[in-house]
Amino acid sequence: MSKNRGVLVVREDTIIQGEIRRCHQIEIYGYVEGQLAADNLLVHQGGQCYGIVQTDTAEIHGTVQGDVFVKHLINIRSSGSVSGNVQYGQLAMEPGGNLSADVRNVPPTLSGDLDLEVDRGRSVRITLQDLNAIDPDDNARDLTFNVSRPTNGFVALANSPARPVTRFTQADLQNGGVFFTHDGTGTQAAGFDIVVADRSGATTGASQTVKVAVRG
């Protein structure tokens, strides 16, 4: 992603993967993964930034991890955490803030609208817009979706569409191979719960529900 010089605000519900460059200021409330270059970086509490970061100044209330190059002052606030290969001109750090050379495993993040529509008794492909896992230090085949509490239907893979599954991977989603099949009952709603785990066993936390609206 390329931006002209100016202010870029990454909101809480926004995920950016790629390149951001030539910004005057970047404010991160959400999730950024990739290469980032700006005059000023502000990561708010709850914001996450992973990858290669080059900036003149940085104020960190959230999480930054990777190769971090700050020309002048990096200010790590009490809720902030910076780790990886970190180089800076000046450092200010409040009590509670963290600066470390240790690169930690990053738990996966679940995204997508978690909302499907299916015709009664039929199947629908689950797309990355519906369901997606984000993790900067694991590849797609190592991100596993664990399915529980299916209601009025089941999750299946394209190579065996009649057999319910309790797990699939991010790679399966990316390849278009995951479906939800409605059981044909006279209901207007269906769904299932999901938790994502990475290769190290870190998860997205409490299960979240994918809601399925039934048409017909």
Q: What is the pLDDT along the chain (216 residues), one digit of tens a residue?
A: 444 468 999 999 899 999 998 899 999 999 999 999 999 999 999 999 999 999 999 999 999 999 999 999 999 999 999 999 999 999 999 999 999 998 889 999 999 999 999 999 999 999 999 999 999 999 999 999 999 999 999 999 999 999 999 999 999 999 999 999 999 999 999 999 999 999 999 999 999 999 999 998
Beta strand pairing call for 115-119 and 208-215: parallel
pLDDT of residue 6: 85
pLDDT of residue 2: 43
> By the 8 A CB rule, do 148 and 97 touch?
no
Per CATH, the number for 109-215 is 2.60.40.10
Domain ranges of the chain: 7-100, 109-215
pLDDT of residue 216: 87
The tokens of 116 are what?
């499907």
pTM, full prediction = 0.83
pLDDT of residue 5: 64
Q: Which residues pair with 59 in a beta bridge?
A: 42, 75
pLDDT of residue 1: 45
